[in-house]
Structure 1
Amino acid sequence: MILLGSVVNGLAIIAGSLSGVVLRNISEQTKDTVTKGIALGVIALAVQMAITAKSFILIIIAICIGGMIGEGLKIEDAMTKLGLFLERRFARGNSNFAEGFVTASLIYLIGSMGIIGGIQSGVSNDHTTLFTKAVMDGFMSIMLTASLGIGVLFSAFPVIIYQGLIAIFASIIVKYLPPELLTLLMDEISAIGGLMIMAIGFNVMKLTKIRVSNFLPAILVLVAILTVQYYYF
């Protein structure tokens, strides 16, 4: 079952979020400290991912072009509106619902583990990476929910859909990619994902407010550039 890893990842987020609801009465200082601790871990992971880049010039080009596309499509606004809709439908006045949904979705979606794990699930039916990611996301969702509310729980659904689609497409497409190109893509996607995760860490620590969602098209831009470069240069 190629979707097993994605489903387990989503269930871990739901379980962690429900645990976070139970722990919501912990002190604000504890929530703040632990949330910032998560942010520091996210930033450290981002640095580790970013240094895998073989060409930072291509990363910068992709980030800039992708950012312009994202701003034009207003991806961040669309995600926020979706979160606000879910807030009106389910949160009953929880003002942090949209922030929790968007922040958790970005943390769980962006990064090499989801992409590589999805590919492994689709190609070899190996869910080890996604199971590992499920443990990490489950624990993180406890504190995110305690800090940002039940909106974090709903991030499980885009995670299942996103990683599930990667697994399905990987089972079809990866068979036709040269191994060298696949390795290059994974390294550079990990690097550009690291930059976006770093921005998320800064946002969680409230050091700045970066519209990270609008950088998501940068991943597709990078894939296009590297594919053209591999075949024609």
Structure 2
Amino acid sequence: MTLFVGAGTVLNVVTVLVGGTVGLLLGARLPDRVRDVAMAALGLGTLSIAVLSVLDVQDPALAEAVGAGAALVVLGSALLGGVLGALLRIEERLERLGHRLRALLLRVGGTRRTPGDGEAGEHRFVEGFVTASLVFCVGPLTVLGAVNDGLGRGIDELAVKSLLDGVAAAAFASALGSGVLLSALSVAVVQGTLTVVGALLGDLLDAAQVAALSATGGLLLLGVGLRLLRVKEVPVGDLLPALVVAPVLVALVRSATG
């Protein structure tokens, strides 16, 4: 059966909403210790996925394209992307968006903040939105899956990602609350845009650029894992432009050395 273009993103949005809702229903019944363990497990799992992605720096196609400088390309992408993201204040804007979405929901729902729902409750909501958005929108499956969907190659990658995101959304929501549900909006915007790009521009990335993107995405996921484990609040949002810089840098290095 042929699915419509964008079906993968629709599926992903639905699984995040369903998983997040299940997590909210379970979260109120779980003791804090269980939720803390769930967050630690997610942090460790994110780190393990990140390491596997970073190892793509050893991909033969990338080595052939840029020679021995593959690691430098990935690090340079993270550095340049981080500087650009810091100048654009992407992390700050994401947090601001989280605050605004929460305020909008309160107005639409006709509810007001209670004394116990002050800064701590707002911080938890925003943390849930930002953290889940970063986890669900950073990584090679997001880019490759959405682009392949746009190219009409099927939704296999996004189907796998949807399953993983649904499980993660349940764990996130149980620990961080309702802000996680709004990460579905981030998934819709990011993957929807990439799907349109794939449909309009056709084949975008070659094997070397995909490997650089994957390794750079792994670095960003390392930052997300450290945040989940409360080791360090890495501004992963500011590093997001690195995902754009990586394939461009590969093309520049290849043309300069070719």
How far does residue 89 in structure 1 lie from its aligned partner after superposition?
Answer: 2.2
Indicate yes or no: 2:35 matched with 1:31. Answer: yes
In 1, Cα distance between the equivalents of 2:131 and 2:180?
8
Q: What is the match of residue 80 of structure 2?
A: 65
Aligned partner (choices 222, 225, 246) of residue 198 of structure 1: 222
SS of 2:5's partner is: coil
Runs of 4+ aligned structure 1 residues displaced above 6 Å come to none
1:99 matched residue in structure 2: 127
Deviations 1:101-124 (A, max 9, x none): 000000000001111111221113
- Provide, for residues 46-93 of structure 1, a one-character-per-residue CA deviation record: whole Å limited to 9, x for no partner: 000001014110111111111111111111000000001112222654
Q: How do 1:34-183 residues align onto structure 2 when only pairs under 5 Å count?
A: 34-54=38-58, 55-90=70-105, 92=113, 93=117, 94-95=121-122, 96-175=124-203, 177=204, 182-183=206-207
Q: Is the 8 A contact 1:2 1:125 kept in 2?
A: no
Q: Spell out, residue by residue over 1:138-184, the C-alpha distance to the aligned partner (whole angstroms, 9 max, x if none).
A: 01101100110100000001111211211121123234x5xxx5111
Q: Which ranges of structure 1 fall in alignment gaps of 5 or more residues?
A: none
Pairs aligned (count): 229
Q: What is the TM-score normalised by the length of structure 1?
A: 0.94
The two structures, once aligned, show a CA RMSD in angstroms of: 1.4
Aligned to 2:25: 22
Task: Write the distance in 1 (CA, Å) between the matches of 2:196 and 2:254.
Answer: 24
The structure with more radius of gyration:
2
1:188 is aligned to 2:212 = yes
Q: Which segments of 5 or more consecutive residues in structure 2 lack a partner in the other structure?
A: 59-69, 107-112
Query: Aligned-pair distance for 1:227?
Result: 1.9
Measured after TM superposition, the shift of residue 231 of structure 1 is: 3.8
Identity %: 26
Q: What letter matches 1:42 in structure 2?
A: T
For normalisation by structure 2, the TM-score amounts to 0.85
CA displacement at 1:217 relative to structure 2: 1.1
Displacement of 1:223: 2.1
Please give the alpha-carbon distance, in whole angstroms, between the structure 2 residues aligned to 1:173 and 1:230: 21
Deviation readout 1:208-227 (Å, 9 max, x if unpaired):
11111001111222222112
Give distance in 2, aligned partners of 1:33 and 1:146.
Answer: 11
Matched, 1:11 2:39: no
d(CA) in 2 for partners of 1:81, 1:144: 20
